[in-house]
Amino acid sequence: MRNSNSAIIGIDLGGTNLRFALLDMSGTILIRDRQPTEIDRGKDALLHRLTAGIAGIRDKAAGIGLKVRAIGAGAPGLILKDGTILSSVNLAPLEGLNLRSYLELQSGLPVTVANDANAAAYGEKSFGAGKPFSSFLLLTIGTGVGSGLILDNKVWTGADGLAAEYGHATIVPDGRSCPCGNKGCLEQYASANAIVLSALEAVQLGRGGPLASYSTGEITAETVARHAFAGDPLSLEIFNEAGRFLGIAAASIVNLLNIEAILIGGGVARSFGLLAGPMLRELSARAYNAIAARVKIISGALGDDAGCIGSAVLAMNSITRLNRLRLYKKQGE
C-alpha cells in the first residue's frame, strides 16, 4: 500500500503501560500516547480505554490528513494465531478474549494481534538493532523475561502462535517456582523481579553492603544496578549471576538454532553493560565454538517503542498481503 495518506496504529498492551503509536507507512512514529494499564480496574474499563485510545489516535491522524488503514496490537502471554488471549499472567481478566475480533468490531479496521515480545522482535528486525540479521532472538527483560524469535527474516510463531516462550526454559531443575507452573525458569533468575529476590535473599542471609540499608519493599532492580555500577560487590555478584543464567539459556538456543545474534530489550536492558559480559562468557564456555563465535549479544535499539512499531509493521504486512491477494484474484477473474 503506497498511499501517502495511509497510517497504521501500533498498540503495546503491557501489564504496566498501555501504549499507542501512529506510524506512517515508512515506519516513522508520528504520534505517541501512553497511559497506565490498571488491569485491577477490570476488563471492561481496560477495553473501554483501549477503544477510546484508538479513537483518539484516529482523530489526531485525521487532523494531520492521515487515514488509519489497520491496527496491530501486542499483548503479553500466550496469544493464539486467531488473536485469542489464551493465558496472560499480567492481564488475567482478558484470558479467553479474542482481542482481534473485539478490536475489529469496535474499529471497523483490519486488526493483527501478536505476543508482545514477538511483536517487539519484529520491530527490531524492521527498524532497529535486528536489521542486519536474518535470524536472532530478542530477550525482553523486565518484570519477567519475554522472547521473540526471528528465523529467516520471519517471526517464528510455531504451530499455534505460542512459540518463543524462552523465559520459561528450565535452567535450574527444582529451582524457584514460576507462575507458568514450572520450576527453575530463566525468568525466575534473570528478570527484574529475580534480581530483587536475589538481593533480598542475600540481605536475609546477612550479606552486608549498601543493599542491607534498604527496607524490603524499597529494593528494585534499578537500585541493585545503581550499586553494581558504583562497584558494590554484592550487587555486581547478583547481576553476574543473572548474566550467567542468561548465558546458560543462550548456549542451548544457539546450539539449537545457529542464530546470528541475541538482542536484549526491556527495562533491565538499561543494565546491559552489567549482563552482557557474564552472559557472553557463559555462552562461549558452553556452546560449540563455531556456533558461539559468530553470535553477537547486543542491546535492542527501539527501547519502549519496539512493541508498538513491531505490532504496526505486522499489521502493515498483513494488509499488504490482503491487497496482493485481492489484486491476484481480480486478475484471475
Binding site for Zn ion (CB under 5 A): 168, 178, 180, 182, 185
d(CA 123, CA 119): 6
Would you call 314 exposed, middle or buried from its count of C-beta atoms within 10 A (0-12, 13-18, 19+)?
buried
Residue 144 Cβ, how far from Zn ion at the closest point, in Å?
8
Choose between 168 and 227: whose C-beta lies nearer to Zn ion: 168
Residue 179 Cβ, how far from Zn ion at the closest point, in Å?
7
Residue 167 Cβ, how far from Zn ion at the closest point, in Å?
7
Choose between 80 and 180: whose C-beta lies nearer to Zn ion: 180
Q: Are the beta carbons of 295 and 259 closer than 8 angstroms? A: yes
Choose between 27 and 179: whose C-beta lies nearer to Zn ion: 179
Choose between 95 and 237: whose C-beta lies nearer to Zn ion: 95
Residue 245 Cβ, how far from Zn ion at the closest point, in Å?
13
Task: Classify the C-alpha dihedral 114-35-32-130 as positive or negative.
Answer: negative
Give the helix ranges, DSSP H, for the chain: 43-63, 99-107, 116-127, 187-190, 192-204, 221-229, 233-257, 272-286, 289-292, 306-332
- Give residue 171's identity as a one-letter amino acid code: I
Choose between 185 and 297: whose C-beta lies nearer to Zn ion: 185
64 SS3 class:
coil
Residue 92 Cβ, how far from Zn ion at the closest point, in Å?
15
Q: Are strands 67-75 and 6-13 parallel, antiparallel or unpaired?
A: parallel
Choose between 178 and 269: whose C-beta lies nearer to Zn ion: 178
d(CA 324, CA 327): 5
Choose between 87 and 255: whose C-beta lies nearer to Zn ion: 87
Grid cell at residue 84 = 485469542
Residue 47 Cβ, how far from Zn ion at the closest point, in Å?
27
Choose between 178 and 234: whose C-beta lies nearer to Zn ion: 178
Q: How far is CA 277 from CA 124, 151, 171, 183, 273, in A?
A: 22, 25, 19, 26, 7
One-character DSSP codes across 90-144: TTGGGTT-BHHHHHHHHHSS-EEEEEHHHHHHHHHHHHSTTTT-SSEEEEEESSS
d(CA 188, CA 190): 6
Choose between 21 and 186: whose C-beta lies nearer to Zn ion: 186
26 SS3 class:
coil
Residue 177 Cβ, how far from Zn ion at the closest point, in Å?
9
Residue 139 Cβ, how far from Zn ion at the closest point, in Å?
14
Residue 187 Cβ, how far from Zn ion at the closest point, in Å?
5
* Nearest alpha-carbon partner for 300 in 265, 258, 325: 265
First-to-last C-alpha distance (Å) of the chain? 22
